[in-house]
Structure 1
């Protein structure tokens, strides 16, 4: 009686969420970083990051810092509660489970959840600066930089072997980009 229309959806970038960070390094404005989130593969993890970018739940990444930057590895931020690497919370409560490990750490600019062991995801994340295959199966990759890899390289240049940044690297604005 009714004709059924079947739609095929691809994972083209037009259908994936895009969010951004505007950063300062020692109060000096940096070019914007734009991320594409992998909504289809890890929807819960992507939604957590998107909502923290917009601040729509009453808390988020705005005014948070990158507290750990190790050259030749990654830049870590997202501690929105203690601002020192020991805090954070998700939009689902304090912590949430690892969604899956389908996407691997294969290149610079990938967004992945920082954690303290299995199923301890909150708001902390890191951005790879190199491929990191040893993290596969331990950290959920949920997005990647589509604009602003040069800004990531600048952030990386302020890192140290201990991870303590040589400058304050701050997210002064974050949000979602709509097409």
Structure 2
């Protein structure tokens, strides 16, 4: 009887783990790509020597969230898979690698935005690859820089998108068509954006370190 119970329990645990952790085609494709890379994390500069990931196909009816645990609180960001699929693909890839863990928001300007994601912490770094922005003629709603909590990609001009991103503190429509919006903050229970903004300055230098402790990806059924 005890052995029978153990078998049932083991099967239940296997099913539960499979249901909650696996089965998404986009995540599986990223994981397969990662396993084929020769990434030496013992190299201090590994975050600047990465290959560009493939464009992912996202599961209809699913929402993809970027969870950022920072030293100023936690943020949940809904990623825009339809309008910015390459940016979301790259973000998921880098997050699965642990790329963003430990990086800082090196530039925070009150009334404007907080910029992070630079592996060098200087504002000039990239993950080892660059790609084009993703734009269309519609900048209404979540597709534009129309409110605080907009997640957008920093760049140094056309074709230079990489890993650096910024989160806005207010609407910044003058950035539409110049920077790709690829997410929106949907949960900020600890007022993390406000706390981060308070540590910034006109020059962008922060009064204390603002750090990403851990970044992760969560997938959930769409609430449409």
Q: Distance in 2 between matches of 1:97 and 1:143?
A: 17
Instruction: Select 2:67's aligned residue among 4, 11, 20.
Output: 20
Instruction: Select 1:51's aligned residue among 93, 103, 115.
Output: 93
- TM alignment of 1:1-179, pairs within 5 A: 15-24=62-71, 30-55=72-97, 60-80=99-119, 82-89=120-127, 93-101=128-136, 102=138, 103-148=143-188, 150-179=191-220
Q: Distance in 2 between matches of 1:31 and 1:163?
A: 20
Q: Distance in 2 between matches of 1:106 and 1:120?
A: 23
Residues 17-51 of structure 1 deviation map (CA, whole Å, 9 limit, x = unaligned): 11111111xxxxx3310110000111111111122
Q: Distance in 2 between matches of 1:99 and 1:178?
A: 22
Question: For structure 1, which runs of at least 5 residues remain unmatched after alignment?
Answer: 1-13, 25-29
- Range moving further from structure 2, 135-144 or 95-104: 95-104
Structure of greater Rg: 2
The answer to whether the 8 Å contact 2:83/2:134 transfers is: no
Question: For structure 2, which runs of at least 5 residues remain unmatched after alignment?
Answer: 1-60
Instruction: Select the structure that is richer in helix.
Output: 2
Structure 1's consecutive aligned runs of 4 or more residues displaced over 3 angstroms after TM superposition are none
Normalised by the length of structure 1, the TM-score is: 0.81
Residues paired across the two proteins, number: 155
Q: Distance in 1 between matches of 2:199 and 2:165?
A: 18
Normalised by the length of structure 2, the TM-score is: 0.66
Structure with more contact order per residue of length (Cα contacts < 8 Å, sep ≥ 6): 1
SS of equivalent residue, structure 2 residue 106: strand
Q: Distance in 2 between matches of 1:31 and 1:45?
A: 24
Instruction: Select the structure that is richer in strand.
Output: 1
Residues 109-132 of structure 1 deviation map (CA, whole Å, 9 limit, x = unaligned): 000000001111010000010000
The answer to whether the 8 Å contact 1:20/1:53 transfers is: no
The answer to whether the 8 Å contact 1:108/1:131 transfers is: yes
